Structure 1
Amino acid sequence: MQADAFEKRPSVAERDSFVLCVDVGNSRSSFGLFAWDAGAQDEPLARWESSTLAQLTSDDARLSLLQVLSLMGSDLGLRAGELRRPRAAILSCVVPSLVEVWVQALSRVCERRPLVVGPGLKTGLKMRYRDPAEIGSDRIADALAARERYGAPVIALDLGTTLNVEAVGEDGSFLGGIIAPGLDMGARALSQDAARLPVVELGRPGAVIGRSTREAMLSGIVLGEVARMEGLVARVQAELGQVAPVVITGTRADELAELVSFEAKADANLTFRGLHQLFLQNERPAR
């Protein structure tokens, strides 16, 4: 992260207590650090992202956390060891086998056992889902943050291993959404299941009509994803019966927000902000 992004932040003495938001996805794990007394609309002081490992011990996760916190401290312009360990943490993990691994690691790195997004945690969202226990923790965070930042109704798209589309109704309730294969999954499927097709590095296609196999694949993968996003959003808007603001987060959110035909806001910190709001709603920090 760029040092100038933190020039107006409080001094080290003023930011010595933190809340760590951890979002463990199927492919990537993301970490966002918030000031202890930050309000619900505040942005993370620092963030980091790494690959999610399928096999992980609590010691592995703890080592990863210590490395991430050290790198975050460096991004904040702090010397080694100057960043104090977080006072608290909140965890969103969509990989069931890794939940307790990360809980144990966070309990050892932070001053207290982390909150875990799931049944029993207050969300502040009225649920229209048939079984709220089925909803992924990242989906809840996205819907909550989208409503708080962009109002209701609102549609949130999260681009990751899966493409998640969340719909919040005019009354602020969580209506449900859509889960579809994600951009990277589509790219891998093409190269794995078609013997003559190579792995391509994803990026913005220069044209719709590709003049090589790689260009044709890039167009099909990226613009195909754009077309799917446009079609799904149009159908959700129609079912809502009105045009709702659309926010896009996740991998390549900025690029795809520029390619879709509808107006959309790219928000890299949407999930982090939602996790932090969930923390505030369930454990109000007190000095």
Structure 2
Amino acid sequence: MLLAIDVGNTNLCFGIYDGGEMKGSFRLKTDPDRTSDEIGLFACDYFRRFGLDPEEVEDVIIASVVPTIMHTLANAMMKYFGREPIIIVDEAEAGLKLGVESDEHLGPDRSVACVAAMARYGAPCVVLDFGTATTLDALNAKGEYMGGCITAGVKVSADALSSKTSLLPRVELARPEKVLNTTAVGHIQAGVVLGYIGSIEYLVRLAKEELGAEDCKVIATGGLARMVADNTPVIDVVDRDLVLDGLRLIYEKKQAEQ
């Protein structure tokens, strides 16, 4: 079995693969103060609870955007699974081809998501990841990375609004029935949620224009992908396991090349 781990700013997402089949997945809140024992025991408990054997894990592969947790996480994998993890650090490690020049590297999570999107849905395509931050990345018809953008996630925006004002409450992230509301909660939901969806539609439209591919597929992943996709026609596919499956694909390619 392969254990794939997507380390995000909010959650550690674990995926257990037996060949190409995902046998299970689970999450743990990202906390740099956790010990390697806490992470390792939590992961092993999940395996045993669902009838899986931790000793059957042959390899571990990780994509992370949280450097401060990596030493502890790697130690947990070695201590409890007996495997030194393969760590994807950028687009080169992920095997993502670039169609544009840049002095900076693309983050590992975004690189892995692009690799998975191209493999599963073809190119050209636009990949949206609705996490703590929201990212948009675009691949041309050759499967080359052509650039992207980052904006604050909808939860970050809502939290900032309530924390920086004295009278505005925290609200549920749900789509209101209309823009013109009569309560504080309705006002915030309309502005934050509908405004966010509108910004995503605008960014996708511009990305397609710049790619010169109006009919390219738009793939969404991340915790809030379903909420956005259910309220806009611009998203074609929601794939919650896109990064985890990308890690599996990258691992299989690396094994085949050895």
Same fold (TM over 0.5): yes
**1:210, CA displacement in angstroms?**
2.4
**1:72, CA displacement in angstroms?**
4.2
Q: Pick closer, same or farther for the CA change 1:142–1:207 going to 2, 3 Å.
A: same
* 1:21 counterpart = 2:7: no
Provide the rounded CA distance (Å) in 2 between the counterparts of 1:112 and 1:180.
Answer: 36
Which secondary structure state, in structure 1, belongs to the residue aligned with residue 6 of structure 2?
strand
| Residue 15 (structure 2) aligns with | 32
Q: CA RMSD in A?
A: 2.2
Which secondary structure state, in structure 2, belongs to the residue aligned with residue 158 of structure 1?
strand
**1:43, CA displacement in angstroms?**
4.4
**1:65, CA displacement in angstroms?**
3.2
1:92 touches 1:137 (CA, 8 Å); kept in 2? Answer: yes
**1:132, CA displacement in angstroms?**
7.1
| Residue 41 (structure 2) aligns with | 66
| Residue 26 (structure 2) aligns with | 48
Q: Report the residue type matching 1:214 in the other structure.
A: V
Provide the rounded CA distance (Å) in 2 between the counterparts of 1:131 and 1:280.
Answer: 28
1:87 touches 1:112 (CA, 8 Å); kept in 2? Answer: yes
| Residue 183 (structure 1) aligns with | 154
Q: Pick closer, same or farther for the CA change 1:119–1:268 going to 2, 3 Å.
A: closer
Deviates more, 1:124-133 or 1:166-175: 124-133
**1:236, CA displacement in angstroms?**
0.1
Q: Pick closer, same or farther for the CA change 1:83–1:106 going to 2, 3 Å.
A: closer
Provide the rounded CA distance (Å) in 2 between the counterparts of 1:125 and 1:168.
Answer: 10
**1:70, CA displacement in angstroms?**
2.0
| Residue 138 (structure 1) aligns with | 109
Q: Report the residue type matching 1:280 in the other structure.
A: E
**1:217, CA displacement in angstroms?**
0.9
TM (normalized to structure 1)?
Answer: 0.82
| Residue 139 (structure 2) aligns with | 168
Deviates more, 1:24-33 or 1:118-127: 118-127
Provide the rounded CA distance (Å) in 2 between the counterparts of 1:101 and 1:127.
Answer: 32
Which secondary structure state, in structure 2, belongs to the residue aligned with residue 259 of structure 1?
coil
**1:124, CA displacement in angstroms?**
2.9
**1:179, CA displacement in angstroms?**
1.1
**1:47, CA displacement in angstroms?**
0.7
* 1:205 counterpart = 2:176: yes
1:70 touches 1:83 (CA, 8 Å); kept in 2? Answer: no
2:91 touches 2:112 (CA, 8 Å); kept in 1? Answer: no
Provide the rounded CA distance (Å) in 2 between the counterparts of 1:120 and 1:242.
Answer: 23
Which secondary structure state, in structure 1, belongs to the residue aligned with residue 253 of structure 2?
helix
Provide the rounded CA distance (Å) in 2 between the counterparts of 1:103 and 1:263.
Answer: 35
Q: Pick closer, same or farther for the CA change 1:34–1:62 going to 2, 3 Å.
A: farther
Q: What aligned pairs does 1:71-90 form with structure 2 within 5 A after superposition?
A: 71-74=46-49, 76=50, 78=51, 82-84=53-55, 86-90=57-61
1:122 touches 1:281 (CA, 8 Å); kept in 2? Answer: no
Q: Which runs of 4+ in 1 moved over 4 A?
A: none
Q: What aligned pairs does 1:1-287 form with structure 2 within 5 A after superposition?
A: 18-35=1-18, 38=19, 42-56=20-34, 60-74=35-49, 76=50, 78=51, 82-84=53-55, 86-118=57-89, 122-131=93-102, 134-243=105-214, 244-284=216-256
2:126 touches 2:139 (CA, 8 Å); kept in 1? Answer: yes
Deviations 1:120-158 (A, max 9, x none): 964332123544762111001110000001100011100
Q: Structure 1: which 5+ residue stretches go unaligned?
A: 1-17
Q: Pick closer, same or farther for the CA change 1:198–1:120 going to 2, 3 Å.
A: closer
* Count of residues paired in the alignment: 257
Q: Pick closer, same or farther for the CA change 1:220–1:72 going to 2, 3 Å.
A: farther
Deviates more, 1:222-231 or 1:130-139: 130-139
TM (normalized to structure 2)?
Answer: 0.91
Q: Report the residue type matching 2:57 in the other structure.
A: P
Q: Pick closer, same or farther for the CA change 1:197–1:120 going to 2, 3 Å.
A: closer
Share of identical aligned residues, percent? 28
2:90 touches 2:108 (CA, 8 Å); kept in 1? Answer: no
Q: Report the residue type matching 1:155 in the other structure.
A: V
**1:71, CA displacement in angstroms?**
2.2
Which secondary structure state, in structure 2, belongs to the residue aligned with residue 84 of structure 1?
helix
